[in-house]
């Protein structure tokens, strides 16, 4: 009988965490929890309600009052706010540009971390984000820190945007990713750092499948 472990995948924007985490979860028949989508949902809701993204108290209230649901489907994971599907709208450039600012507020993070820990409590989960191994699931059996060069991450995001019909240039995406890295690493609440016991995985020259297979090999070792 294979153990139902917790797998925590951290890393900067554009490292391929979500895509790889989804594949790993599917192969292991584990639950995939997209924490980035949860912060995007809070950001989207705050913007819809014209809440100042500098107002920590108001943003925390937004996070506390909304019901975020993650639901698997044939098209991938669907995101709902209070029963309304928001899967695509939370990935617009406007939300992307503001999510780091919202996620930096300690009150918002406290609400989201509690929800993430509840979702992961039964085990058999793959969770990706910025502070999963260090803060959300410090007891996870497998911790991986995924990264790639800024140039490669910008190239991937450009291709992703093209497929979504979002206009962008590689240069502006590289600048945005560099700024996101700075914000994520310098924030006071759970900054982006590699956990001491996390395994570093450089995906610059790996395909999505190769990266997923690397993590699956590590996972099977932990599940015996």
Question: Domains of the chain: which residue ranges?
Answer: 6-214
| pTM of the shown model | 0.82
Q: List, in sequence order, every beta strand (DSSP E) within the chain.
A: 6-10, 31-34, 68-71, 78-81, 84-85, 125-129, 142-147, 199-202
Task: Mention every residue, 6+ apart, whose C-beta is less than 8 A from residue 58.
Answer: 46, 51, 52
Mean pLDDT of the chain: 93
Domain at 6-214, CATH from 3.40.50.720, 3.40.50.300, 3.40.50.1110, 3.30.530.20: 3.40.50.300
**How is residue 41 written in tokens?**
């949902």
pLDDT of residue 55: 97
- The span from the CA of 209 to the CA of 44, in Å, is 31
pLDDT of residue 74: 76
Burial of 147 from C-beta contacts in 10 A (0-12 / 13-18 / 19+): buried
Query: Which residues in the chain land under pLDDT 50?
Result: none
């Amino acid at each position: 009988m294979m153990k139902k472990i917790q797998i925590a995948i951290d890393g900067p924007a554009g490292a391929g965490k979500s895509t790889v985490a989804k594949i790993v979860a599917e192969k292991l028949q584990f639950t995939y929890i997209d924490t980035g989508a949860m912060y995007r949902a809070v950001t989207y809701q705050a913007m819809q309600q014209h809440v100042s993204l500098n107002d920590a108290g108001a943003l925390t209230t937004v996070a506390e009052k909304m019901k975020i649901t993650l639901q698997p489907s044939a098209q991938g994971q669907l995101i709902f706010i209070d029963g309304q599907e928001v899967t695509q709208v939370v990935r617009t450039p406007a939300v992307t540009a503001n999510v780091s600012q919202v996620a930096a507020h300690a009150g918002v993070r406290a609400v989201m971390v509690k929800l993430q820990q509840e979702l992961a409590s039964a085990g058999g989960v793959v969770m990706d984000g910025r502070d999963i191994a260090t803060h959300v699931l410090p007891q996870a059996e497998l911790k991986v820190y995924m990264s790639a060069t800024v140039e490669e991450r910008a190239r991937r995001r450009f291709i992703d945007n093209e497929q979504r019909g979002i206009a962008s240039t590689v240069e502006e995406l590289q600048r945005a990713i560099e700024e996101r890295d700075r914000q994520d690493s310098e924030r006071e609440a759970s900054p982006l750092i590699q956990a001491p016991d996390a395994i570093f995985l450089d995906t610059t020259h790996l395909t999505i499948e190769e990266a997923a297979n690397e993590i699956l090999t590590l996972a099977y070792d932990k599940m015996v």
